[in-house]
A and B are shown apart, each in its own frame.
Chain A
Amino acid sequence: MHPFEYAAPETLDDALSLLREHGDEAKVLSGGQSLIPILHYRLARPRVVIDINALPLGDIAVRDGRIGIGALVRYHRLEESAELARHCPVLAEAARLIGNVRVRTLGTLGGSLAHADPAAELPAVMTALDARLGVASASGRRTVAARDFFTGPLTTVLAADEIVTGVEVPAMSAHGWAVEELSRRAGDFAIVAVVALIGLDRRGHVDDARVAFGGVGDRPVHAGAAEDALRGREPTAEVLARAAQAARDTLAPPTDAFVSGAYRRHVAGVLCRRALTRAVERARR
């Protein structure tokens, strides 16, 4: 790693004024599971690294049907939290698919969102859940919808002096859920990931559907077409297959060194049908 200055502020205000002072020349260090490799490869050469791990942003709080999750909540807590298992179990299923066990020890929710890898799990989950992200700078706070937050590969609406402080997601205890993904090797980023949440009414018809993809574009993709094809319908195998197809047909995934866009698109359709099927089964229980 190239040499840099290191600061470890203990309050959010101190962190934000450091960030205001150094702006583009600073990098925020959270769990470090993406930033440190980037520094090893010298893909970024910040003059200052601002380590935010001492900030009090590690809380999980359920209130009035909403769940607040601090930016420093680590993946293993998303996996293991009894509170989240009760109120938003899709988070644990997604977190289990992230990287390897060492990444899950240190990696953080806020870090994953701010890093914005288009194939990462949590950005897709937050897009499906229609989460609200808390964002702070020295000039104030704002809230950004997850569906507006990601603007491209590793790119978000965050200004150079802003950090993500946490997210708010709806409690989803009655919904069925599923995360499906295909990756080349265990622990790799997904070729395609699908997140599905299904709520059923008393007759067993879909009254809420939330679907998003990772890996199929330059940012997480909200699958509105699948949701529209499900809402109000009885979720028969045929309806689910049609919804998955509708979602697939809106995608134009990229080709990379390993996988063609056409293959990715095909896999997206297959995984979407599987995720919807599993989510509906769980919603019926």
Chain B
Amino acid sequence: MIARLVLNGRPREVDVRPNQTLLELLRDTLGIFDVKEGCDEGVCGVCTVLLDGRPASSCLVLAAGLRGRAVLTLRGLERDGGLHPLQEAFIRHGAVQCGFCTPGMLLTTLAFLEREPHPDREAIRAALEGNLCRCTGYTKIVDAVEAYVRAHD
């Protein structure tokens, strides 16, 4: 069957199996590997995409049910082939170690800042509580987001 979506700004129609998740469509069919596979039950946040601007676990969405919705993955953040300023902030503050959680952290952060542009540290921590990182201890991730928020005030 056909899944219809607007992927990183581009309308796509892709043949999918009824039991194929959006995560499987992105990675296995379309080769978009900036979306990671983790727990497969919506808890870890590494497969986060933005669905019409809101964070969603792509492992818990059937591709067949997309109905033309906008799907944003990390590569959709590229600006003129360069990194997004939030990505730069992550690098500057050492917020990336193994990097597996990073795409989900970035997308979740940007969706959050869209709704709450001037959060304090506590609000940033709360916004990222659904994205697990097993390396950094979160401190440097929150540092990076805080610095990005300050720079864009």
Contacts and interface: CB of A to CB of B under 8 A. Distances in A.
Interface residues of B, number: 29
A100 B45 contact: yes
A54 B67 contact: yes
A189 to B, nearest CB: 11
A145 interface: no
A36 B21 contact: yes
A106 B60 contact: yes
Given A1-B19, A76-B54, A105-B51, A6 B62 contact: yes
A102 B21 contact: no
Nearest to A36: B60
Given A29-B65, A37-B41, A186-B129, A102 B19 contact: no
Interface in A1-60: 1-6, 8, 29, 32-33, 36-37, 39-41, 49, 51, 53-54
Interface in B45-94: 45, 48, 51, 54-57, 59-62, 64-65, 67
Nearest to A2: B19
Main secondary structure of the interface of B (DSSP, over half): mixed
Contacts of B108: 101
B56 A105 contact: yes
Given A1-B19, A5-B18, A101 B41 contact: no
B6 interface: no
Nearest to A76: B54
Interface string A211-247: 0000000000000000000000000000000000000
A267 interface: no
Contacts of A8: 64-65, 67
A103 interface: yes
B111 to A, nearest CB: 8
Contacts of B54: 76, 101, 105
A6 B1 contact: yes
B130 interface: yes
B118 interface: no
Given A36-B60, A105-B55, A49 B43 contact: no
A102 B55 contact: yes
A204 interface: no
Contacts of B40: 37, 40
A88 B98 CA distance: 44
B27 interface: no
A283 B48 CA distance: 39
A233 to B, nearest CB: 36
A254 interface: no
A51 B108 CA distance: 26
Contacts of B65: 6, 8, 29, 32, 51, 53
A32 B62 contact: yes
A9 to B, nearest CB: 12
A153 interface: no
B17 interface: yes
A4 B19 contact: yes
A29 B65 CA distance: 10
B60 A37 contact: yes
B127 interface: yes
A100 B131 CA distance: 9
Contacts of A49: 18, 62
Contacts of B21: 1, 36
A261 interface: no
Contacts of B119: none
A6 B19 CA distance: 8
Give the one of A29, A41, A100, A102 with max B CB within 10 A. Answer: A102
A99 interface: yes
Contacts of B42: 33, 36-37, 99-100, 102-103
A29 B62 contact: yes
8 contacts: A1-B21, A8-B67, A36-B62, A51-B64, A100-B130, A102-B42, A102-B57, A187-B130
In the A-B complex, list the 8 residue pairs whose CB atoms are closest, starting with the nearest.
A100-B130, A6-B18, A186-B129, A105-B54, A37-B41, A1-B19, A36-B60, A102-B57
